[in-house]
Structure 1
């Protein structure tokens, strides 16, 4: 019997994952991760992690598997929370869920599992893993989950071959309703439990309040840029090299206040992100205002009317060399090479046709259709069919 440690989160997905592994004849151990918790920023006075760890314990008791809680708050604070503050301070928008998987669940947590003699770590992610052979060596593939509506492969886009080798995703072949049905048949306490919202493991947190602990409010101007501003009429020179053309398409527009009109004030550019429309508190406009750019150096937010404003769209993005990550290292591009892929720049975005261009200093991803709200600090993930083969931080 192989031993599997399941990250029991107190939700229905990991509960059913543990049950299925047990059915498949594995020796299953349940571990609940207590991650960082701060009462001063939770939305209500409920204590989500206590409730969740109790539910995880009840599931473990029902299945008759050993259970314990591991406190990872220190590592979480250092690897996720501090990183988030640093990124927001630079005016970037991090993705804590992707990082949490790379740094906590499939690293710190995985090491604890291995110290308990585990062969594998399993989670309740909606994705699949398979194994192929390349040049006589086993190579692991990360595939989209069977439930199109719930596919979570994107959140695992930073995993390595070593991490995938020791991972199992028992519910990847199932849909959410099927998972709930199994939980109900087994009379598991989590069968009807709502899916958790909010930051990975932090529970129900208001992001601005969370950020205000470290990043002080600072009043600045909200500027509205007209969609007909000449800054959007850039004619590319005809004789550009491919790389120069991509540089131009991926380039961030340097807005200055003189390009538009002042429509309001905000409490800190670092609390806002490109593409955001809520929280600006500017009234009286014909269409909703969207953030098209933020400048943390001058503490200015630039906005445009409607979701079709030209300031929201770009055809390409850049990933610095050190931030390019291949799950399928055997497919990594050499300099000067290209690859046609399907890509997404955020979770749940439908996959978009794109081309990867690898250069000496990093990689450009150029899209067939212009993309709205490409956001620095977020992850772009690229797929071949339904296999996620690599990802990178948008720079």
Structure 2
């Protein structure tokens, strides 16, 4: 059974997005900080509607939000299952829908290739191919201990994480997600 919940719009001008970058002691600390998912509350924005169940939505989704009267389309930027709330932002370039770092998780196993600890800590130039973009996206792969990150040359949509993508090194797919 679906339960109605609130839809909260977070303005692009929200102070959440103007946090000052702290001084980082290492590249690892910087990547961890940049890859943290933002969490929103009802008080960060304003109510714009209601939904019929958070299970019907994904991050980056535009269709089905059913809130009209906006200059730009709304995109789901966060889902709070516990409070049964959708958080949305207006426009494809809303800061809640873009990132320059994605955390890949731990113990990344690459197809038929291995990199030294030093190479991973300094970053390995590669490309990402996804259904979200027609072009290959330049990025760097970093690895520290068992944590791995992709840092993109330019900001990308967080939608990339919701779709299959390939990591390409020297014109060869080394990992598919």
TM-score (norm 2): 0.88
User: Any idea what the Cα deviations from partners look like across 1:308-353, whole Å, max 9, x if unmatched?
Assistant: 111111110111224x23222xx22344523110013x32522111
Given that 1:225 and 1:302 are in contact with CA atoms closer than 8 Å, whether structure 2 keeps it comes out as: yes
Pair 223,339 (structure 1): closer, same or farther in 2 beyond 3 Å: same
Deviation at 1:238, TM superposition (A): 2.5
For 1:271 and 1:242, locate their aligned partners in 2 and report how far apart those are by CA, in whole Å. 37
Is 1:311–2:96 an aligned residue pair?
A: yes
| Equivalent residue in structure 2 for 1:272, among 54, 57, 67 | 57
Q: 1:332 aligns with which of 105, 114, 132?
A: 114
Stretches of structure 2 lacking an aligned partner (at least 5 in a row): none
Q: Distance in 2 between matches of 1:218 and 1:247?
A: 34
Compute the RMSD of aligned alpha carbons: 1.9
Q: Is the 8 A contact 1:333 1:358 kept in 2?
A: no
Aligned equivalents of 1:282, 1:348: Cα separation in 2: 24
Give the secondary structure class of the aligned counterpart of 1:282. Answer: coil
Change (3 A) 1:369 1:254: same
Question: How has the CA–CA distance of structure 1 residues 332 and 391 changed in structure 2, closer, same or farther, with 3 Å as cutoff?
Answer: farther
CA apart distance, 1:378: 4.3
CA distance in 2, matches of 1:334, 1:267: 49
Q: Does 1:234 pair with 2:16?
A: no
- 2: distance between equivalents of 1:282 and 1:269? 15
Query: For the structure 1 residues 348 and 227, does the alpha-carbon distance in structure 2 shift closer, same or farther, using more than 3 Å as the test?
Result: closer
Larger relative contact order (Cα-Cα within 8 Å, sequence gap ≥ 6): 2
| Deviation by residue 1:162-194 (Cα, 9 ceiling, x = unmatched) | xxxxxxxxxxxxxxxxxxxxxxxxxxxxxxxxx
Name the structure where helix makes up a greater proportion of residues. Answer: 1
Count of equivalent residues: 173
Please state if 1:357 is matched with 2:142: yes
